[in-house]
Amino acid sequence: MTKIEKIVLSYSGGLDTSIILKWLQETYGCEVVTFTADLGQGEELEAVRAKAKMSRVKDIRIVDLREEFVRDFVFPMLRANALYEGQYLLGSSIARPLIAKHLVGLAREVGADAVAHGATGKGNDQVRFELAVNALDPSIEIIAPWRKWNIRSRMQLLEYAEKHHIPVPSDKRGEAPFSIDANLLHTSTEGKILENPAEVAPDHVYQRTVDPVDAPDTPEIITIGFERGDPVSVNGKAMTPAALLTELNGLGGRHGVGRLDLVENRFIGMKSRGIYETPGGTILLTAHRGIESITLDRAAAHLKDEIMPRYAELIYNGFWFAPEREMLQALIDQSQAFVSGEVTLRLYKGSASVISRTSPCSLYSADLVTFEESAIAFDHHDAEGFIRLNGLRLRNWAARNGR
């Protein structure tokens, strides 16, 4: 084993990474630099600095990545209408390559030879972090303490914390908290009672959306502006990507939009159950499909829908920085050249529904589709021939079957 001189740790200040920090310092006897990204998780980041300081970290980095996160990761993914297994908006999956990118950048800057993360050995996140680091800088070593040390359970983790006087957080009820991952796109909650998919999730797991039952009785109408596939304004007000998503999270949360109780298939092999809250993302997905519905050609739209599950799976499995994801992205991005205009939605008791859409680049032709007399020449005899030719093989097939 080559001697490690300096490690950059992806540090949240939570229980796991606090213990990992201690363990790295003891095991490797070298300097550990902590890296904490502000992705809009809504945590007090100055408290994180204080914690790192208490653990004698000299180089503490806390970086606001909210705009980069939404502009360069969330929005490109949204252009594809990406959903994993038909439902999951990939809120945790899409944050990992961004964090990995900055871990690698910082490792180079401070001359570290390794990066470390606190993802456990059973989850997707370890795969995503490490595949991204591999793709960005194969010379950097990766330390995954959860796969190295002999702590095997949360119970043993708590014992280690006690022994080393590391404070153990508890939730508002004084219980050990759920496993939570939050950022501007979503809050994901896993573990404890949720591990039994037969159990109904208790009300207190939800953090940023009200129960649709308790949402306002009056619907709220909002308009989202799009330019070349990306949302740029809410109710006529131009906003930066992070500000826009923050605004929609507030609106959606108040109306109970974007809750999901899901059993998903992890890349690593097992099924897992989690609760997701993605208020702004859910509104944006619906709105984006709305603006695409009038601006995309049929075949272009259908091709996008064909590749979408594959693209979403690549992100879920950690292949953001892989050539095939970049190839699909190029295809998706090219499709968005005319995806501009405005979509109006109604938020009401957990739903976000499109109620109108307009675009200067619309392909929609009222003249063509109208039930009334039309100015555009459409020869109804063409439809007759169209059906006759499409039906040719069906008539042939039915005759052979003796129908």
User: Which residue ranges make up the site for ligand ARG (CB under 6 A)?
Assistant: 92-93, 124-125, 179-181, 188-190, 272, 274
Decide if 179 is catalytic. yes
Taking the least distance from each CB to ligand ARG, the nearer of 312 and 343 is 312
Smallest gap from residue 139 Cβ to ligand ARG (A): 27
Nearer to ligand ARG, 124 or 359 (CB): 124
Nearer CB in complex with ligand ARG: 25/120: 120
Of residues 81 and 317, the one with the C-beta less far from ligand ARG? 317
Q: Min. distance of Cβ 287 from ligand ARG in angstroms?
A: 23
DSSP SS3 for 354: strand
Task: Tell me the C-alpha distance between 314 and 322, whole Å.
Answer: 9
Report the nearest approach of ligand ARG to the CB of residue 333 (Å). Answer: 24
**Which one of 18, 92, 179, 359 is the catalytic residue?**
179
The span from the CA of 330 to the CA of 321, in Å, is 13
Distance CA 324, CA 326 (A): 5
Residue 41 or residue 362: which is nearer to ligand ARG going by CB? Answer: 41
Catalytic residue check, 125: yes
The H or E element that residue 383 is part of is helix 380-400
Work out how close the CB of 237 gets to ligand ARG at its nearest, in angstroms, rounded to a whole number.
Answer: 32
Catalytic residue chosen out of the listed positions 18, 66, 93, 125 = 125
Minimum Å gap between C-beta 224 and ligand ARG is 25
Rounded Cα distance between 128 and 123, Å, is 9
Residue 16 is a catalytic residue: yes
Among 16, 79, 273, 335, which one carries the catalytic annotation?
16
| CA-CA-CA-CA torsion sign (13, 16, 17, 20) | positive
Of 179 and 278, nearer to ligand ARG (C-beta) is 179
Rounded to a whole number of angstroms, the minimum distance from the CB of residue 190 to ligand ARG is 4
Question: One of 61, 79, 96, 128 is an active-site residue; which one?
Answer: 96
Which CB sits closer to ligand ARG, 188 or 359?
A: 188
Closest contact distance (angstroms) between CB of 254 and ligand ARG is 23
197 near 263, Cβ under 8 Å? yes
- At its nearest, how many Å lie between ligand ARG and the CB of residue 47? 20
When the beta carbons of 189 and 336 are compared against ligand ARG, the nearer one is 189
The dihedral over CA atoms of 304, 306, 308, 311, expressed in degrees to the nearest 10, equals -110
Distance CA 331, CA 29 (A): 48
Q: Which of the residues are catalytic?
A: 16, 96, 125, 179
